[in-house]
Amino acid sequence: MSDRKRPKRGSDPLLTRRLRQALAAPGCPLCRLVRAGEERWLATLLYELSGDPLTHHKLARAEGLCGEHARILALLVERCTLLTPAAVARLYESVVGTMLEKPVRLTNQVGSCPACRYRQGLLGHQAEILARFLAGEEGRVAYLGSDGLCLPHLRLVLKSATSEVARWLEADFRVRLSELRHRLGELQRKQRYDVAEPLSAEEAGAWQEALWRLGGNWFGQLVTPPGEI
């Protein structure tokens, strides 16, 4: 499997379904879509390509996966019985063996994490899909019912959007920021000793939203449903 391969353009019911699922889930939908794609790619790497010589070569050049994708791979092995520790061992035996043959590479990494390269292509493609989806009324209704994009992914989608969609997205983001600022203020005010008003769930979680809204979502567990890997 090429780490540079991107899905074909056009209307794809599966991609649309996944987009709708991401919009209905908490947090930035693009963060979730890309993370789910990374999980599927890593599962394929382990299940189908652990014996592929080209895959071994690419992984050895990169000196293994980066820390982030290594952690995701570990979560997959812990959850999925078909993704075995032996498959990880098979891949990493090649990585370690190559490093032992050329110890100078301990300070001279040649390649980059193949999962990171895959993510970059996937991210651009998903941003284009979302930009097209938001050109229609149905897409905007779904988006308004979601938590909206994080700032880094908003900027990415704006590059693929028409000028009209871009203006709509920017206006929506400003509304979300204004509401967030209000909730952040209420969180501080209601935690003072002289205020007896209870915090709403949205106000209590405002500090977490501020972190992901401006920096992007993080996921401590797998986001792909068990039956889809």
Distance of CA 221 to the CA centre of its chain: 12
DSSP state of 194: T
Nearest-angstrom CA–CA distance, 160 and 177: 22
- Beta carbons of 147 and 26 less than 8 angstroms apart: yes
- Beta carbons of 4 and 116 less than 8 angstroms apart: no
**Phi and psi, residue 176, nearest 5°:** -65, -40
Domain extents for the chain?
A: 13-216
> The whole model's pTM is what?
0.86
Integer-rounded Cα Rg, in Å, for the chain is 21
pLDDT, tens digit, 9 for 90 and up, residues 210-226: 999 999 999 999 999 88
- Beta carbons of 216 and 31 less than 8 angstroms apart: yes
pLDDT, tens digit, 9 for 90 and up, residues 133-149: 999 999 999 999 999 99
